[in-house]
Amino acid sequence: MGNNTFVAIDPDPIHLDLVKTFIAKTAILRGAVVSFHDTGVSREVIPATSSTGTAIGVALNSQATVGGEVTVAMQGSVVKVMVSTDNVGIDAGHWVTSSAIASCVVELDPVVSTHAAGEAGFRILGYTIDDITAGALATGYIVINVMPRWSLSA
């Protein structure tokens, strides 16, 4: 099993709902899952990971320049995302979260006692509508439906 290294992909939207423009706090690639930083700054986003930030959607364009604009498909949109590891498939209908690999997703771990407290930690991004077949740089469609994560930690 190997980690995917995210490369720019066409998120190929089936449906766009809420779409807003944000400022790139670091370089962002098209199709990346993006989030606010832990100590979020107004309308600034970064590539999302499971160790930092609050995922909000998927970048519709690449932005190499810090401070440049990036358009983000948000709640209700139906777009493609990349899975974080190359030999893991995801069944249709399963929920996905931000992952250890920046910009990618992984299947939701629903066990609250394993979840970190506070702002750092994975966030729920949405659910798949198609089976995603395991493979290098595997991608699949999700319905974006972000929400907070629950934990047992203080």
Partner 1 sequence: MAATTPQAFDPDPKHLGLVMTFYAGSAILRGQVVGYADAGDTRTVIPAISTAGIPIGVALESQATTGGKVPVAMNGAVLTVMMVDDGSTLDAGHWVMTGAVAGCVIEWAPSVIGHVAVLSTGAFPVGYALKDSVLGTATAANYGSTVEIVVNTCPIWCDVN
By CB under 8 A, name the binding residues for partner 1. 14-15, 17, 76, 78, 91-95, 107-108, 110-113, 124, 127-131, 143, 145, 147, 150, 152
Q: Which residue, 12 or 91, is less far from partner 1 as judged by CB?
A: 91
CB of 26 to partner 1, least distance (A): 29
CB of 127 to partner 1, least distance (A): 7
CB of 83 to partner 1, least distance (A): 15
Q: Which residue, 6 or 121, is less far from partner 1 as judged by CB?
A: 121
Distance CA 20, CA 141 (A): 20
Distance CA 77, CA 54 (A): 17
CB of 149 to partner 1, least distance (A): 9
CB of 129 to partner 1, least distance (A): 6
Strand 19-24 vs strand 44-47: parallel, antiparallel, or unpaired? parallel
Q: Which residue, 35 or 63, is less far from partner 1 as judged by CB?
A: 35
Cβ–Cβ < 8 Å for 84, 139: no
Q: Which residue, 42 or 150, is less far from partner 1 as judged by CB?
A: 150
- DSSP secondary structure code for residue 14 in this structure: S
Distance CA 97, CA 108 (A): 6
Distance CA 78, CA 22 (A): 19
Q: Which residue, 37 or 94, is less far from partner 1 as judged by CB?
A: 94
Cβ–Cβ < 8 Å for 2, 86: yes
Distance CA 95, CA 127 (A): 4
